[in-house]
Structure 1
């Protein structure tokens, strides 16, 4: 898989990307009018204010804070225990104004950035996250893509799209395409020999291709294709040699960074998505249907 710009991987890059995304969210909040906080988002049941509450509440917890106990009602959009847990921070803040929650985020953001830049930490340092302990770089990656997805939720609701060429955008795009092979092989009902290529046309530019093969257990698997050329090839892991593959049905899906990441976040259905297809349109739709990586 090729991605340009490259997603952040090293600890300093991840911290910088987290800081930039957090600041973008704050900037959006500071420009909101009171009525903006009541606008619905693509997240079922959540308004703009609720998304800010989720962002602030999660990082408040990461910062060692504790919210008061509150009863979370059986909202129809809560599907599991993790969703109920995430709803607590939103429920606690429902009686506060949007401006108050944005101010909470404004005060909290520099503390979170400073904690991640603590010189005593290293990439393997284990820290406590919302759902348990994780190594710092893995945790920061998850926090980055969560923040960036919610930034896009806010931008969508406020009709202020942007930041699609950022490190956060590159990280989420890379995650969606990394998940694409296994999801397509097991869930998209593709014929053995089928070749499917996804091209993200920008601002983040990326390309990932797969060929469906039958494993020794009789189940379908996806072989990643060499995506540095327009040819349907793969690379030998040991020699680096480019190996031409026999062709099955070739389907190419092209879509923008915005479309790919909104579908990957599960915020828009395939039926409502803007994309183009060369090849089997039905297969392309099935692949896009299984591309969501968020809970």
Structure 2
């Protein structure tokens, strides 16, 4: 994917978020989301806080209690300190700041040349380049947009290039989930049958002690997991209780029930 296409994805998802924000009442901005401890407004602040830092305009932080149950590590603490600093603002105020910062960030990226995209940068998985960071920003922005949309009952932006890229990132984590976290045995084959927007079939097999994508799904896989793409992403991002979605029938397991259950339980690859 080209640098221009990555910037296009960022601009698209941020435009979609802005359009959503202009529909929200103050009550909706303050609704809780599936991100523990965070409101719709908190999710928005989190999205643009990183971009503000990349523009050289880091947002202020405030001290927070040491015992917040949803803060698990130092990165989470830093995120919470920024979000907490803006909780006394209105949704409209945070939306205006979001639009100003993301507009400036898109303009900055549009002006970049090859050397700028190749420059060293922090990424969530270690040192990289600016170009390496951008797919993570698309993913993070789109996932939090969906958190905001679910909390306010406004589904949308489910078939864009940004949505497709986010889905691919979750799919790409499944060999790790199946092979390492769920401990699927040698020779096991797993099929995810995903329906809904961007639905597809994903096949993964364990060969030589490693789980890896398969070119085609086995006719009789060890386990078949059928769900919709939204539930699949929610599980991968730790947004929903695995036992609850299985009990509700949102994930259907055919074949090896025990392995299927372990996979669903292990699908959260973010934290």
Report which structure shows greater RCO (CA 8 Å, sep ≥6): 1
The correspondence for 1:285, drawn from 235, 248, 261, is 261
Secondary structure of the equivalent of 1:115? helix
**What are the residue-to-residue correspondences of 1:261-272 with 2, within 5 Å?**
261-272=233-244
Higher Cα Rg, which structure: 1
Equivalents in 1 of 2:244, 2:162: separation in Å?
Answer: 24
**What are the residue-to-residue correspondences of 1:116-155 with 2, within 5 Å?**
116-122=109-115, 124-129=117-122, 134-155=128-149
1:151-202 per-residue CA deviation (whole Å, 9 max, x = no partner) reads: 0000010011121111122112111111111221122132332211112223
**What are the residue-to-residue correspondences of 1:154-165 with 2, within 5 Å?**
154-165=148-159
Instruction: Tell me what 2:6 maps to.
Output: 14
Equivalents in 1 of 2:167, 2:148: separation in Å?
Answer: 18
1:226-246 per-residue CA deviation (whole Å, 9 max, x = no partner) reads: 13xx446xxxxxxxxxxxxxx
1:224 correspondence with 2:213 = yes
Equivalents in 1 of 2:33, 2:129: separation in Å?
Answer: 32
Structure number with higher helix proportion: 2
Unpaired stretches in structure 2, ≥5 consecutive residues:
none
The correspondence for 1:276, drawn from 249, 252, 263, is 252
Instruction: Tell me what 1:209 maps to.
Output: 203
Instruction: Tell me what 2:189 maps to.
Output: 195
Equivalents in 2 of 1:21, 1:69: separation in Å?
Answer: 26
The 3 A distance-change label for structure 1 pair 208 and 181 is: same
Moved more, 271-280 or 50-59: 271-280
Secondary structure of the equivalent of 2:156? coil
- Contact kept in structure 2, 1:61 and 1:130, CA below 8 Å: no
- Contact kept in structure 1, 2:122 and 2:129, CA below 8 Å: no
TM-score computed with the length of structure 1 as normaliser: 0.83
- Contact kept in structure 1, 2:61 and 2:84, CA below 8 Å: no
